């Protein structure tokens, strides 16, 4: 087209032509929006205290129902199935398989720090029977109410020999056992232990005074660090830790309970132990007695 000629009818002049950016924007406006990526699945919610209590009550009801049935029918109580190894061997062998997942700092795997000064941990038998965890945390004293033996009173090599672990381990556990054997054989842990059943009828309060004295005496030593554990770190050891905080920190039960549950989410003392903690609170704080409603509120009711 020469200058001065009129553009053909319907043609777009240069001044009317959209630039590249405008064209892209126009095209994008008419395209359907890309679907949003699916949201990641929400992590499973941790069981609440009422849920854990409901599970505990359900187990208790089932056990009571079976006991009543045996009483009415004369049916003998079934003998427990015998296992090849004692409970302490099972725990030790489990540790040999799970040491990596129990390493300190793994989410939810290690024992939980309840007090920073002095240092007090609450955990399970998998922590109390794992010398690598004990060494890494610098544990010096152990309160053991798991029902298992005090494995490392005489050091790790002595425990390995006593329980014949070198003869029992498989190939995948042998490397971890070698790490155990590399721990200084002179390292010892001081123990206080009691065989306490996790039942509502068990009198936990009779153990408060000797247990708390052991922990108090431990904290008089320089660099002392205490681990309190039962089998799961849920009921028995949690009750002792709560009682100890009431004794040493002079905290009322509601504050103590909240603090321990915040530090170790799975804690839920059985009903009998909780009632004994209420009685201990009323003994320590006679001017601030707790009643039935306070008792229920501990479990979130």
Active-site residues, by number, are 230
Q: Is 174 helix (H, G, I), strand (E, B) or coil?
A: helix
Cβ proximity of 298 and 257 under 8 Å: yes
Beta bridge partners of 192: 143
Cβ proximity of 218 and 244 under 8 Å: no
The distance in angstroms from the start CA to the end CA of the chain is 88
* Phi and psi torsions of 134, nearest 5°: -60, -45
Q: How far apart are CA 230 and CA 211, in angstroms?
A: 13
Q: How far apart are CA 215 and CA 224, in angstroms?
A: 10
Helix (H) or strand (E) holding 228: strand 225-229
Structure tokens at 160: 């390995």
Structure tokens at 104: 């300190």
Q: Return the sign of the alpha-carbon dihedral for residues 21, 26, 27, 32.
A: positive
Q: Which of 144, 33, 163 has its CA nearest to residue 89? A: 163
Q: Taking the mean position of all CA atoms in its chain, how far away is CA 101?
A: 13
Cβ proximity of 254 and 287 under 8 Å: no
Q: How far apart are CA 127 and CA 231, in angstroms?
A: 9
Q: How far apart are CA 145 and CA 237, in angstroms?
A: 7
């Amino acid at each position: 087209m020469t200058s001065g000629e009129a553009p053909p009818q319907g043609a777009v002049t240069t001044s009317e032509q959209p630039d590249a950016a405008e064209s892209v924007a126009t095209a994008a406006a008419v395209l359907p929006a890309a679907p949003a990526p699916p949201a990641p699945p929400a992590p499973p919610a941790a069981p609440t205290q009422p849920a854990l209590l409901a599970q505990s009550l359900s187990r208790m009801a089932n056990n009571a129902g079976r006991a009543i049935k045996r009483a009415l029918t004369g049916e003998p109580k079934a003998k427990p199935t015998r296992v090849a190894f004692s409970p302490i061997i099972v725990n030790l062998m489990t540790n040999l398989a799970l040491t990596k997942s129990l390493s300190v700092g793994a989410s939810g795997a290690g024992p939980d720090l309840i007090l920073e000064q002095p240092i007090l941990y609450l955990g399970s038998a998998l922590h109390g029977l794992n010398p690598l965890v004990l060494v890494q945390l610098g544990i010096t004293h152990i309160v053991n109410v798991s029902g298992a033996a005090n494995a490392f009173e005489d050091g790790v090599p002595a425990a390995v020999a006593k329980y014949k672990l070198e003869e029992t381990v498989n190939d995948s556990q042998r490397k971890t056992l070698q790490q155990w054997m590399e721990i200084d054989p002179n390292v010892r842990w001081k123990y206080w232990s009691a065989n306490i059943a996790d039942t509502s009828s068990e009198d936990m309060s009779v153990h408060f005074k000797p247990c708390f004295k052991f922990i108090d005496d431990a904290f008089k030593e320089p660099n002392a660090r205490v681990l309190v554990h039962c089998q799961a770190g849920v009921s028995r050891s949690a009750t002792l830790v709560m009682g100890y905080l009431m004794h040493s920190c002079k905290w009322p039960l509601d504050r103590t309970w909240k603090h321990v549950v915040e530090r170790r989410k799975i804690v839920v003392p059985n009903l009998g132990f909780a009632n004994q903690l209420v009685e201990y609170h009323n003994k320590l704080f006679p001017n601030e007695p707790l009643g039935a409603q306070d008792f229920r509120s501990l479990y979130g009711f």
